């Protein structure tokens, strides 16, 4: 493997100028490549992009040169490299360990340097190890992963409120740290791999200008600690903890363990331990967000084991997004590391996955999102959902709003009783019935934002929603519906609980001064 890049402040600032002046952004790259070549590149096909870039490269187009060098990993001539690195200089780029000279005098990339578009603070760049597409073979064990679907998902579900202290466990190339630095005064990053920490620091320094960081005083904003999971921060407390841990469940005796996704532990033991001990690094009110896998056995509920992992006082809200049988799971992760490029090794690893799951009686493996919170002197929030449909990312805001509404309505009394509620514009009402039926047989409410939930209603709940126009209190509406449908006290209490749940999930909003407010 190539050495990690070197985070030399002046050269990184100069490199950032070169990337900026060349227009090396996600939007510009997509525009130059066009939809066909861009889509092919996502499918790990290089030829369409090479054909599109041939003309611009011949004309000395700098954007095309950066794409060819860092995205396609194609050799470029020394004159073109000198044009690309006009500010940092070719010698500076070589000193940063992002390119090297071949014996033929060409320049080739030693890292994947990708443009990364974010809603805030904007366009950035992320360096990581080269992909299997660029390497032309399976990923090495110590591979440092770049921006992927998992890292983007974690960024999209992480709350973005202002905090003084944040922790990124297993930072990898530092994607989560880049996001945390936009709303955390100080961020601590940890990883078991020094190479990963080198990449993370490189990326923070490369984006110092957009992150408003002084490269000469990085310690003011960032603490870098080598170590495994929670061990290097024992005794410290953080307001926000974010982690995409190495949750992949691979055979413990596997010959190849990819540091970015596997630990060598049996089953889901690492995730279990992390959830069980995360409270030791959280402040009172502190939150943690993570991606995770968990094993399932027989016909038990998917969350049967997961619900027992946190401390009894810790809030947990887990959302399972998908599940796989052992064969599907093996295929997903063997392809993730491109081990299918070595058929013999692929067959052996596939068989090892199946044997490992069979030995423990694992029938399904779940994947999902886990939110945790440390709160003293309050009943714990325990919620488990299986949401497989498309969501409207980022869902962080919707999730945070739901947590706040849960806190608001979690006392013994019906907190919403005197509220004036309305159904927001993003919620629609659906009715289903068979041809010839006299009345609708299924009533549904669908949210067009956040988690995009699609829930079934009973007649009473639908009637309350239909009457929530902000004029009457929800107590008045519920009483009228209960009287009309002749509900008893138990049924009326259940209706009140359902209305509260709908409010927590964003199907109802408080009506104030002629408008719906969240």
Tokens of 417: 């009783």
pLDDT at 142: 83
3-state secondary structure of 324: strand
Q: Is the pLDDT score of 224 beyond 60?
A: yes
Per-residue pLDDT, 517: 46
pLDDT bracket for residue 34 (50, 70, 90) = very high
Query: Which residue from 146, 142, 99 is spatially nearest to 5, judged by alpha carbons?
Result: 99
**pLDDT for residue 260:** 65
Give the model confidence (pLDDT) of 362-394 as tens digits: 999 999 999 999 998 888 999 999 999 999 989
Which residues, in sequence order, are bridge partners of residue 297?
362
Q: Is the pLDDT of residue 196 over 60?
A: yes
CA–CA gap between residue 188 and residue 200 (Å, rounded) = 11
Identify the pLDDT of residue 137: 77
Taking residues 19-46, what's their average pLDDT? 96
Q: Which domains does the chain have, with CATH numbers?
A: 9-113 (no CATH), 149-408 (3.40.50.150), 410-517 (3.90.930)
Distance, in Å, from the CA atom of 93 to the CA atom of 109, rounded to the nearest integer, reads: 10
Containing 114, the helix (H) or strand (E) segment is strand 112-117
Whether the Cβ atoms of residue 371 and residue 316 lie closer than 8 Å to each other: yes
Helix, strand, or coil (residue 454): strand
Q: Which of 9-23, 130-144, 291-305 has the lowest mean pLDDT?
A: 130-144
Looking at the predicted structure, is the pLDDT value of residue 516 above 50? no
Q: What DSSP string runs through 330-376? A: HHHHHHHTTGGGSHHHHHHHHHHHHHHHHHHTEEEEEEEEEEEEE-S
- Identify the pLDDT of residue 325: 94
pLDDT at residue 44, as a whole number: 86
Give the confidence band of 37 by pLDDT, cuts at 50, 70, 90.
very high
In the structure, what pLDDT confidence band is assigned to residue 263 with cuts at 50, 70 and 90? low
Tens-digit pLDDT profile for residues 146-182: 999 999 999 999 999 999 999 999 999 999 999 999 9
Contact 226, 232 (CB under 8 A): yes
Phi and psi torsions of 165, nearest 5° = -130, 130
pLDDT at 518 over 50: no
Are the C-beta atoms of 192 and 259 separated by less than 8 Å?
Answer: yes
H or E element that contains 10: helix 9-21
- Burial classification of residue 72, based on how many CB atoms lie within 10 Å of its CB (0-12 exposed, 13-18 middle, 19 or more buried): middle
Q: Is the pLDDT of residue 105 over 80?
A: yes
Q: Is the pLDDT of residue 499 over 50?
A: yes
pLDDT band at 336 (very low <50, low <70, confident <90, very high): confident
Name the DSSP letter for residue 68: I
Enumerate the β-bridge partners of residue 291.
369
Mean pLDDT of 493-505: 96
Give the chain's mean pLDDT: 92
Q: Each residue of 204-221: pLDDT tens digit?
A: 999 999 999 999 999 999
Give the contacts of 139 (CB within 8 A, at least 6 positions apart): 129, 131, 132, 258, 337, 338
pLDDT digits (tens, 9 = 90+) for 108-157: 999 999 999 998 889 999 999 998 788 877 777 788 989 999 999 999 99
Long-range contacts of 54-60 (CB under 8 A, 24+ apart): 56/32
Determine the pLDDT at residue 253: 62
Does residue 463 register a pLDDT over 60?
Answer: yes
What's the rounded Cα separation, in Å, for the pair 509 and 2?
54
């Amino acid at each position: 493997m190539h050495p990690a890049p070197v985070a030399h402040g002046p050269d990184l600032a100069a490199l950032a100028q070169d990337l900026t002046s060349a227009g090396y952004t996600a939007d510009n790259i997509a525009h130059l490549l066009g939809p066909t070549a861009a889509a092919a590149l996502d499918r790990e096909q290089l030829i369409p992009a090479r054909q599109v870039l041939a003309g611009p490269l011949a004309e000395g187009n700098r954007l095309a040169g950066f794409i060819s060098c860092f995205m396609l990993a194609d050799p470029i001539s020394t004159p073109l490299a000198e044009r690309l690195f006009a500010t940092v200089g070719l010698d500076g780029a070589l000193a940063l360990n992002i390119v090297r000279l071949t014996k033929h005098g060409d320049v080739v990339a030693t890292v994947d340097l990708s443009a990364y578009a974010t809603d805030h603070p904007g366009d950035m760049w992320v360096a990581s190890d080269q992909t299997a597409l660029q390497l032309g073979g399976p990923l090495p064990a110590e591979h440092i992963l770049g921006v992927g679907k998992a890292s983007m998902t974690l960024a999209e579900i992480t709350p973005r409120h202002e905090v003084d202290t944040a922790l990124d466990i297993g930072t990898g190339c530092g994607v989560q740290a880049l996001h945390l630095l936009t709303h955390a005064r100080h961020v601590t990053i940890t990883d078991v791999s020094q190479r990963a920490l080198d990449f993370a620091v490189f990326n923070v320094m490369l984006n110092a200008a957009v992150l408003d960081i002084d490269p000469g005083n990085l310690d003011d904003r960032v603490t870098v600690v080598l170590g495994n999971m929670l061990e290097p921060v024992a005794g410290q407390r953080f307001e926000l903890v974010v982690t995409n841990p190495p949750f992949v469940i691979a055979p413990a005796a596997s010959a190849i363990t990819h540091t970015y996704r596997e630990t060598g532990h049996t089953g889901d033991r690492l995730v279990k331990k992390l959830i069980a001990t995360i409270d030791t690094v959280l402040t009172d009110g502190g939150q943690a967000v993570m991606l995770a896998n968990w094993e399932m056995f027989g016909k038990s509920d998917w969350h049967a084991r997961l619900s027992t992992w946190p401390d009894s006082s810790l809030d947990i809200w887990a959302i399972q997004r998908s599940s796989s049988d052992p064969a599907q799971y093996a295929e997903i992760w063997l392809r993730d590391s491109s081990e299918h490029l070595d058929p013999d090794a692929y067959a052996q690893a596939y068989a090892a996955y199946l044997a490992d799951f069979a030995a423990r009686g694992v029938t399904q493996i779940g994947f999902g999102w886990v939110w945790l919170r440390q709160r003293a002197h309050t009943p714990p929030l325990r919620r488990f959902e299986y949401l497989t449909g498309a969501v409207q990312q980022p869902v962080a805001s919707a999730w945070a709003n739901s947590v706040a509404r849960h806190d608001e309505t979690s006392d013994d009394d019906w907190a919403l009783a005197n509220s004036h509620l309305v159904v927001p514009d993003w919620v629609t009402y659906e009715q289903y019935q068979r041809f010839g039926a006299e009345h609708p047989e299924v009533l549904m409410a669908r949210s067009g934002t956040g988690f995009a939930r699609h829930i079934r209603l009973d007649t009473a709940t639908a009637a309350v929603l239909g009457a929530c126009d902000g004029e009457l209190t929800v107590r008045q509406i519920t009483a009228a519906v209960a009287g009309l449908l002749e509900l008893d006290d138990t049924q009326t209490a259940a209706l009140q609980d359902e209305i509260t749940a709908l409010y927590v999930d964003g199907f109802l909003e408080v009506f104030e001064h002629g408008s719906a407010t969240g």
